[in-house]
Structure 1
Amino acid sequence: MNTTTAWVTAVAGFLTCCLAVVPLKRLALRWGLTDRPSANKAHARPTPYLGGIAITLGTLVPAVTALGLADQRITAVLLAATVMALVGLIDDIRPMQPFTKLTVGTVAASGVVSSGVHVTVFGGWLDGSLTVLWIVVVANSFNLLDNMDGALGAVATVTAAFLAGTAFVSGQPSLGLLLIVLACTSLGFLPHNWAPAKIFMGDSGSLFIGFIISCSAVFLVSGQDLDTMFAGLLLPTFVATVDTGVVFFSRLRAGRSPLAGGTDHVSHRLRRMGLGPRMVAVVLGLAAAAAGTCCLAMALQWISPPVTAVITAGAAILLIHLLQGVSAYESIEHPMPGNRERQG
């Protein structure tokens, strides 16, 4: 695969998403597929969903055109992500039971594992089970990260770009191409989702992104030693992992269900520290860039996996601890019109 092919495919993803957003936004408004304002949401008018369809099409069409279906592992990842995009779309239109979504996610992740994408820790069926659990949890963590305008779009763009570089360096050009297309597609969607957002990606887009990134991380660490595997899984998912950790432990301490909704995510806490919604997206993107840089540096053998694993785990634990000290449920002063701060 040459550089020209990679760039043409990436640009095709960017343009496909950009062009698809406009008619999808009109269609969503015509059909009433909108996220309506409420007490726990700061946007002032109904905002259309269906942005996830643009992200899915912008990634799938160029990637399949360039790569075909020859690599069963890449094909399995794409199929699983597409299934979850469809599930997310159904959930956007008519909310589904969490158990149903988790069941479908488990089946989709199992398909990826059966294609040969799995961690190698214990050997045998246990590795497959751990991989399925990790993919499902992380994919849903990315889903929950989509709680403020531009937040997940920024994280997805940066994370996919650095993970693509890691894939190319690691001798996985097909995966690298898929990830660079996802990065460019997310970038193409970002102006439409930047605060104040004109369209939301919904569960369709966030689950699609989460599945591709989580499966790709497993793809790259399969067969590696434990230190490399730990760092290689945590770094591409660092922002989503910290966000989930903050929510999980703070709710446990407060005696609230970790599965209940709430405006207590990292983005909400950053807002309560005085950052505007656009700056929150920038900060989360920068955090993803720092983690992505470490992941790429480790692949280039500039830093050792054990040191990277210890520093990454320490940083995650420290951030989870510090962010729990930020009040989670006070009202947000002067929200930007159109900014979405939904429960998740």
Structure 2
Amino acid sequence: MLYGIAAATTALLLTAVLAAVLRAPALRLGLVDRRRQQRKVPLSGGLAVVLATCAVVAVGEWTDLVPLGGGDLLVAAVAVAALGLAADLWRVRARVLLVGTAVAAACVVPYEETGVVGGALAVGWIAFVALGFRALDHADGLAGTVGVVAAFGVGACAAAEVMDGLAVLLSVLAAALTGFLMHNWPPARVGLGSGGALFAGFVLAAAGVVARTGHEAASSAGVLFALNTVAVADVLLVVVSRRLAGRRGPDHLGHRLRRLGLTPQGTVVLLGLGAFAGVLVGVLEHLGWVGGTGALWVASGALVVVLALLRVKSSGTARPVSPQVRAQLRVRNG
């Protein structure tokens, strides 16, 4: 208990310091958010979250205060973060990130308990959620806020299963994301980037799968969905809206809410409350305090929100094309 509090506090402070210290080197290396045209936002926050989380966990392992049962999980998450960092520095196709994340997920799924089919579904779910968190990084403060809420929820589920090491890992991740939010709250001074977002999403999804191991499959699916409602809803909204419009553009939850008149801060708070509602239902269902219909209500609410936001008029703004891409197109077209 005391170690968990000390570890979380250390992770929070260390992340806050590292995010600031790494800001200048990130700018010099060109590790910046390419989606922003007005100002350069360095992606030192994601690297700070990964480094702080790993450092605190490594000290816990070295001192043998709280041996982690999820050591392999953290190693796989770091590999995914490295792949995301490569995507931050260079252009990496989404399918490469998907395959790489799925391979890492395949290394941490407990097949003895899930079986082959269940394990394959778990691998797909972990990769889906990890990329969903990467998509949530479209708005300042959003991925960090949703990640903190989800980490507390998954940590509560792990604690209920007496998985102390996994619960501590999630509390450390929640604290690290909180330290990151000190720099990322709108308007952001640093960003999370693909590396940090994939790392957080991977840990949360994989830890949720491990915590639900041994429970009934349908019930587990409902709990896992509830714990990651906002990320799933965001992916669903983007896929459907782009299918209907036949183009790519600013179609995420945050974009649509901003077009309704919400401020950047208000958007984060509203989606954070939505994440909290889903996580609360997921934890209560995991504990057996609510029936399986709880997750169905969460799914219904998420679907209503997605359908409502689909009616919000799109800005019609296509994704900005970089000068390098324009040059390549001119060469192709002669």
* Structure-2-length-normalised TM-score: 0.88
Distance 2:120 2:2 in 1: 39
> What's the offset of the Cα at 1:177?
0.6
Query: Identity of counterpart residues, as a percentage?
Result: 33
- For 1:262, what is the secondary structure of its paired residue? coil
C-alpha RMSD over aligned residues: 2.1
Q: 5+ unaligned residues in a row in structure 2: which ranges? A: 318-334
> What is the CA distance between 1:195 and its match in structure 2?
1.1
Change (3 A) 1:58 1:117: farther
Q: Name 1:317's counterpart in structure 2.
A: 303
1:149 equivalent in structure 2? 140
| Match of residue 7 from structure 2 | 9
Instruction: List runs of 5+ in structure 1 lacking aligned partners.
Output: 332-344
Contact 2:68 2:165 (C-alpha < 8 Å) held by counterparts: no
Q: For the structure 1 residues 22 and 278, does the alpha-carbon distance in structure 2 shift closer, same or farther, using more than 3 Å as the test?
A: same
1:63 corresponds in structure 2 to 57
- Label 1:117 to 1:67 Cα distance change in 2 as closer, same or farther (>3 A): farther
Task: Tell me if structure 2 keeps the 8 A contact 1:140–1:210.
Answer: yes
Q: Which moves more between the two structures, 177-186 or 306-315?
A: 306-315
Aligned counterparts of 1:99 and 1:296: Cα–Cα separation in 2: 32
Say whether the 8 Å CA contact 1:153–1:189 is kept in structure 2.
Answer: yes
1:31-70 superposed matches below 5 A: 31-35=29-33, 41=36, 44-67=38-61
Q: Residue 326 of structure 1: which of 306, 309, 312 is its match?
A: 312
Alpha-carbon displacement from aligned partner over 1:189-230 (angstroms, at most 9, x marks no partner): 002011111111110100001100111111121221134212
State the TM-score, normalizing by the size of structure 1.
0.86
Q: Per-residue deviation at 1:330?
A: 4.9
Distance 2:24 2:3 in 1: 33
- Tell me the distance in 2 between the aligned counterparts of 1:179 and 1:80: 15
Q: In 1, Cα distance between the equivalents of 2:5 and 2:60?
A: 11
Give 3-state SS (helix, strand or coil) of 1:223's partner: coil
Kindly indicate whether residue 262 of structure 2 is the aligned counterpart of residue 275 of structure 1.
yes
C-alpha deviation, 1:126, in angstroms: 1.7
**Count of matched residue positions in the alignment of Structure 1 and Structure 2:** 315
Q: Distance in 2 between matches of 1:254 and 1:178?
A: 41
The answer as to whether partners of 2:249 and 2:316 remain within 8 angstroms in 1 is: no
Ranked by relative contact order (alpha carbons within 8 Å, sequence separation 6 or more), the top structure is 1
| 1:214-229 correspondence to structure 2 within 5 Å | 214-229=205-220
Change (3 A) 1:328 1:172: farther
